[in-house]
Amino acid sequence: MYDLGVRIKKSRFDWVLMFAVIALMVIGTVAVLSSTVSLNSQSRLIRTQFFAIGIGLFFMLVVWTLNYQIFQDQWKYVYALAILILLGVLFFGVVDKGSRSWYRLPFFSIQPSEFSRIGLVLVIANYLDKKGPRIREFSGIIVPILFSLPILFALLKQPDFSGILTTVPVIMIMLYCAGANIFHIYVILSYVLLSALFPLLWTLIALNPDLTDNGLVNLFFDLASFGWNTLIFVVSVIALSYLLWRVFLKFKPFISGIYFAGIAVVLISGFLSGIFIKKQIKEYQYKRVEVFISPEKDPRGAGYNLLQAKIAIGSGGFFGKGVFSGSQARLGFVPEKHTDFILSVIGEEMGFIGVSLVMFLYAVIMYRIKKIASFARDRFGYFAACGIFGLFLTYFVINFGMILGFIPVAGVPLPLLSYGGSNMVATLSAIGVIQSIYSRRYSIT
């Protein structure tokens, strides 16, 4: 039960959270404004940004006034809507940069995956609330993953790898917080990693043809497509696991075969999905992987972008070059400067002060969400807050990690900061959910 000893202020709206959100939006808008000075479309971009902020704030207020529990009651509709808008985009969406992930409307475009992700968080939160104790079983952890499969599949079909990249960790974080068996999470994670690792390696080999001189490498590369090879691989994995189990039995008589079966299943399923994912990878995404591994290979391509982003941040120094004075972004050296690379604009123009302020504001948001999760009146609220916390954490880690050079270039924006209407509206709606949880916390009915 909730600890009644904790004093709770009788406020219905978390102003600290809201302050951090607004501060980020202000910094973001200034950075977007500054980075798009040289673009012809600047006025349109700024208009869209303000429009999105307006709509987003409106959504936030609506969701805040609604009881968030309505999402739990109507979870089936939420889920259906999340899947439908994603499936719809596969048929009615427009292709931009090789991905069919946008609805084109008369004045703006909508990226439905941003909203589906929030929907998925709510649906999984509902499941974790209702089937709480079952989460410790492997079957209990499989169900939420099955829930997310249609959405992940639709994202794969678009294909929107950054969408998957930001969804999977959120699910994992929710399962983790719900108390899933760490071993189960490891299994799932190794499956995910395997299904990413296989295509990654194949891509690497495809990009470096001289590697195929090695017979083993060549053999491995041949596995990349379905055929007799696939069957041989599957059979040999099963056989090897079985053999391994028998060998282990000699030393440790009471070891369960389930572990070896698990290894085999994970290996085979990861391998199979790897083949599937490989087929969806676009040429330019190949490049990104390659550039991360050896940036000097393509100084004018994707590695160039990353380098320019780094130069932008580094050249900002402690105090920055001053807003509207960043040469890197203004002269077009940094790509996607108003969306995924907005941090480099802030780093260049506002310096270390700006970047650390942004980090601090995200920390404040995440801290408030964690706090509000602990105030939540029900488990649904708690898990929903967990999911939204995971969402922020994922975006934060991937985007910062990308620009600081820890992980490959991925098209992941910074919520509330980057230009992007759908992300802005979806994020503000999520903030609305948090506010709603806060205003309906345990002490107030």
Binder among 30, 39, 272, 404 for another protein (CB under 8 A): 404
Residue with tokens 């960043």: 326
What are the structure tokens assigned to 88, written together?
A: 């719809």
Using CB under 8 A as the binding rule, whether residue 28 contacts another protein is answered as: no
Given candidates 291, 312, 431, 433, which one binds another protein under the rule CB under 8 A? 312
Look up tokens 């590697």; give the residue: 211
Q: Considering only the stretches 10-18, 22-30, 104-112, 382-390, report the one whose residues sit in contact with another protein under the rule CB under 8 A.
A: 382-390
Q: In what order do the strands lie in the sheet with 94-96?
A: 94-96, 99-104, 109-110
Provide the b/e sequence for 131-166 (b: ≥16 CB within 10 Å): eeeebeebebbeebbebbebbbebbbbbbbbbbbbb
22 binds another protein (CB under 8 A): no
- Part of the chain binding another protein (CB under 8 A), chosen from 45-53, 111-119, 237-245, 389-397: 389-397
**Which of 352, 311, 351, 357 minimizes the C-alpha distance to 333?**
311
Q: Of residues 53, 192, 275, 355, which one binds another protein by CB under 8 A?
A: 355
Q: Does 400 bind another protein (CB under 8 A)?
A: yes
C-alpha distances in Å from residue 278, one per residue of 121, 205, 228, 273, 417: 27, 12, 18, 8, 32
Say whether residue 331 binds another protein (CB under 8 A): yes
Of 45-53, 101-109, 189-197, 404-412: span binding another protein (CB under 8 A): 404-412
CA-CA distances (angstroms) from residue 96 to 84, 194, 361?
20, 29, 32
The two three-digit tokens of residue 9, written as one number: 């202020």
Measured from the CB of residue 316, what is the shortest distance to another protein in angstroms? 6
Complex with another protein: residue 183 or 406, whichever CB lies closer: 406
* Minimum CB distance to another protein smaller for 88 or for 314: 314
> Helix H segments across 208-338?
215-222, 228-251, 257-280, 283-293, 302-316, 327-330
Q: Does 315 bind another protein (CB under 8 A)?
A: yes
d(CA 376, CA 434): 9
**Shortest Å distance, C-beta 84 to another protein:** 32
| 249 lies in the binding site for another protein (CB under 8 A) | no
- Minimum distance of another protein from residue 184's CB (angstroms): 14
What's the DSSP call for residue 413? P
Question: Considering beta carbons, is residue 13 or 406 the nearer one to another protein?
Answer: 406
Going from the C-alpha of 372 to that of each of 73, 110, 135, 384, the distances in angstroms are 21, 30, 23, 11
Position 429 contacts another protein (CB under 8 A): no
- Which positions from 216 through 235 interact with another protein, judged by CB under 8 A? none
Residue 121 contacts another protein per CB under 8 A: no
Based on the shown chain and the rule CB under 8 A, indicate whether residue 316 belongs to the binding site for another protein. Answer: yes
Size of the site for another protein (CB under 8 A): 52
CB atoms within 10 A of CB 66: 14
The number of angstroms, rounded, from the C-alpha of 99 to the middle of its chain's C-alpha atoms is 17
**Residue 99 bridge partners (DSSP):** 96
Quick check: 356 binds another protein (CB under 8 A)? yes
Site for another protein contains 68 (CB under 8 A)? no
Choose between 248 and 367: whose C-beta lies nearer to another protein: 367
Tokens matching residue 4 = 């009644």
Task: Report the nearest approach of another protein to the CB of residue 243 (Å).
Answer: 37
Shortest distance in whole angstroms from residue 437 CB to another protein? 13
Residues 133-192 that bind another protein (CB under 8 A): 173, 176-179
Among the residue ranges 24-32, 67-75, 286-294, 368-376, the one whose residues contact another protein (CB under 8 A): 368-376
CA angle 288, 290, 295 (to 5 degrees): 90
Which class for 265: exposed (0-12), middle (13-18), buried (19 or more C-beta within 10 A)? middle
> Which phi and psi (to 5°) does residue 102 adopt?
-130, 140
Q: Which is nearer to another protein, 191 or 396 (CB)?
A: 396
Report the alpha-carbon distance of residue 118 to residue 247 in Å, rounded. Answer: 47
The stretch near another protein (CB under 8 A) out of 156-164, 211-219, 286-294, 369-377 is: 369-377
Whole-number Cα distances in Å, 119 to 16, 95, 116, 266, 404:
25, 24, 5, 28, 30
**Binding another protein by CB under 8 A: which of 377, 410, 439, 443?**
377
Member of 262, 347, 411, 432 binding another protein (CB under 8 A): 347
Site for another protein contains 373 (CB under 8 A): yes
Binding residues for another protein, per CB under 8 A? 1-2, 38, 173, 176-179, 300, 308, 310-318, 327-328, 331-333, 347-348, 351-352, 355-356, 359, 363, 366-367, 370, 373-374, 377-379, 382, 386, 389, 393, 396-397, 400-401, 404-406, 442
